[in-house]
Structure 1
Amino acid sequence: MDKLPTLAKMMSRLRLKQLHLLSALADHGSLLKAAEKVSLTQPGASKALQEVESIFGMPLFARTPRGLVATAEGHCAIRYARLIQTDLAQLHDELEDMLQGQGGRLNIGVIMGAVPLLAEELTRLLAQYPDIAIGIVEDTSARLLQLLEQGRLDAAICRSSVGAQPHLYESVDIHHETLAVVGSIDHPMAARERLELADLGASRWVVYSANMPMRRLLEREFHEAGLRFPHQLFETTSTFATLALLRRQPDIVALLAMDVAEFFASLGIMRILPLRLKSRSEPYQLVTRRGAVLSPAAQLFLRSFPGPDSDYPQP
């Protein structure tokens, strides 16, 4: 097939029972067992599978002597069928909570540097509203903005400036980030009273990928110091990977948000090196989709969020 049916045509023909059948077939590999799982007869399940393959315009399962085996396209359809089922389950649970007068659910995204800030705020929120269920996604600003656009997050603490379409978001500055250069507890320069960037010019750095705000700030620091930006880098957005690398290789350094660095330094996991950066990073923002209808839990979160930069009205 050269062309998929239109999305509108798919949505008009697909039924939830068919998506449930796809998941059951993936779990059991047998039409009979899948039919039992979704409360269909075997002929009914066979007809439903034919219908869904007709809707997509392609076979989703190969018929083999050992049973039904998902094709590459079938695996893709199964993955999204399960996502839809998960979303429906969350919808059911949230509506049930609302009917019982409970707090509902808050889905919040956060960049790594703002995790301590979010943890502090959620502690305050739950002290007032203990029945709220909370889902947290930690990722880069770019990924969190995508999840906001898809409606999978109510709000995110990140930077809207990295988005391709900043007009899609409502954003409020909530916290000005300070950055720290860190090393392992055994870093050879950790005992120095003061460091200059040139002292670490030959070091291997753990950094975010190109074009991310923290990476751009570090590149600017090297440029303004008249130094060549290091080429021997570890590029990662993973805090755990950063910690593991610092632990295994005492001479490498990394750039972290000061709140995060102080947390791990207090646990004796790393050292904050005595290097003061001249550049100021972009502030964290509390970001929502423009025009989005927010859940009661999300409204509570936004209204109660503290900070001198916040423009959200206090309850």
Structure 2
Amino acid sequence: MASAQTPSFPAASALPSLASITSRLHLKQLRLLIALADHGSLLKAAEQVALTQPGASKALQEIEATLGAQLFVRTNRGLEATDLGHCVIRYARLIQTDLVHLREEMLSIMQGHGGRLALGVIMGAVPLLTDALSRLLEKRPALSVEIVEDTSARLLRLLDQGRLDMAICRTSISQQPHLYDAVNIHNEELAVVASVDHPLAQARQLQLADLADSRWVVYSANMPMRLTLEREFHAADLRFPLHLLETTSAFTTWSLLQKNPQFVALMSIDVAQFCTRYGMTCILPLQLHSRSEPYQLVTRHGSPLTPVAQMFIDEFGAKYSDKPGDEVGETAEKK
């Protein structure tokens, strides 16, 4: 392994063939790469994969020779991955995750269970996911499911790492949307919500100016819902609020509204109606004019789907395929 601070990349023509890589690369070597990325230390990585330090150093040299590229450089903070190293590590994690899922799904099938499904969802689409999942569980009651609620950016990273089978989010926030297959499943409508004790809770009609001085609970900058709210303020010729509370958590949003009756928040109409139905919040009578981006059902491009993942997609197809403006079907729209 070279110790240069700034590695020079080999010409693309020098990249070994796929047959050469697959015949020489071993799973234990991939485990070593992941350990090096996690610890930044050859000694700690060697201990994790049960190698001596000289053995780990030799194994890393063999990996770099197999791939024809320098994957790490030495710095005063330890070993750091090069750009090519980050690429290889990402795929090493995908392979490891796929093997974990392989064993879990085999075990589940052998035990007579229904398999495993890992789903991601942004806050506004939670009701859509739970509806589709409930229908799927009626057909596959023994199915094991993991649900991760987060922002689109973080969910896409989890998809990249192979930690999710699919996510309900948006690919527009990614700089590489071509990495995903996405279908529009629902056009999002937004609502402004507040505590039932908010001073304007009983108003019949409101303008955005009536809430311009309110404390807003919002998504972080550059998220689609936040951008929609910014467009609303701009269209109304109002200064966007300076003192914001930023969160991606529905529970945090509800708790803030409950504890602070002066606060307001922007939510998807589905979540807002759910909260209002159970008396947690009220929907303020404010008409929003900006159109939000639709929710998408997103998978990794070129990644094969498990049977249960396809069944989950089919649940959306059955519900939305006959609605104008939605695009759920067997063929994913390339984004």
User: Above 0.5 in TM-score?
Assistant: yes
Say if 1:152 and 1:82 are closer, same or farther in 2 by CA, change over 3 A.
closer
Shift of 1:83: 10
Residue 191 of structure 1 pairs with residue 202 of structure 2: yes
CA contact (8 A) 2:127 2:271 kept: yes
Residue in 2 that maps onto 1:125: 136
CA contact (8 A) 2:215 2:262 kept: yes
Q: Gaps (5+ residues) in structure 1?
A: 24-34, 60-70, 74-79
CA contact (8 A) 1:178 1:280 kept: yes
Residue in 2 that maps onto 1:64: none
- Taking the aligned partners of 2:60 and 2:184, their CA distance within structure 1 comes to 48
Shift of 1:123: 0.6
- Taking the aligned partners of 1:94 and 1:192, their CA distance within structure 2 comes to 54
Residue in 2 that maps onto 1:154: 165
Residue in 2 that maps onto 1:265: 276
Q: Deviations over 1:14-61 (max 9, x none)?
A: 9777999999xxxxxxxxxxx9x99x9xxx8788778779899899xx
Alignment equivalent of 2:260, drawn from 219, 226, 249:
249
Residue 312 of structure 1 pairs with residue 312 of structure 2: no
- Sequence identity of aligned pairs in percent? 54
Alignment equivalent of 2:193, drawn from 173, 182, 191:
182
Say if 1:148 and 1:50 are closer, same or farther in 2 by CA, change over 3 A.
closer
| Structure 2 residue identity aligned to 1:132 | L
- Taking the aligned partners of 1:290 and 1:20, their CA distance within structure 2 comes to 24
Residue in 1 that maps onto 2:126: 115
Residue in 1 that maps onto 2:12: none
Say if 1:214 and 1:133 are closer, same or farther in 2 by CA, change over 3 A.
same
Say if 1:52 and 1:190 are closer, same or farther in 2 by CA, change over 3 A.
farther
Residues 294-305 of structure 1 mapped to structure 2, 5 A cutoff: 294-305=305-316
Runs of 4+ in 1 over 4 A off after TM superposition: 1-4, 11-23, 44-59, 80-89
| Structure 2 residue identity aligned to 1:312 | G
Residues 1-315 of structure 1 mapped to structure 2, 5 A cutoff: 2=5, 88-99=99-110, 102-305=113-316, 306-307=319-320, 308=323, 309-313=326-330
Give me the TM-score of the superposition, normalised by structure 2.
0.70
Shift of 1:173: 1.2
| Structure 1 residue identity aligned to 2:293 | E
- Taking the aligned partners of 1:275 and 1:57, their CA distance within structure 2 comes to 55
User: Which has the higher mean CA deviation after the structures are superposed, 259-268 or 194-203?
Assistant: 259-268
Say if 1:140 and 1:175 are closer, same or farther in 2 by CA, change over 3 A.
same
CA contact (8 A) 1:18 1:48 kept: no
CA contact (8 A) 2:29 2:60 kept: no
SS in 1 for 2:240: coil
| Structure 1 residue identity aligned to 2:141 | P
- Taking the aligned partners of 2:30 and 2:296, their CA distance within structure 1 comes to 38
User: Which has the higher mean CA deviation after the structures are superposed, 195-204 or 244-253?
Assistant: 244-253
Say if 1:245 and 1:239 are closer, same or farther in 2 by CA, change over 3 A.
same
Residue in 1 that maps onto 2:85: none
Give me the TM-score of the superposition, normalised by structure 1.
0.75
CA RMSD of superposed structures (Å): 3.9
SS in 2 for 1:286: strand
Q: Gaps (5+ residues) in structure 2?
A: 10-14, 36-46, 65-70, 81-89
| Structure 2 residue identity aligned to 1:150 | Q
| Structure 2 residue identity aligned to 1:255 | L
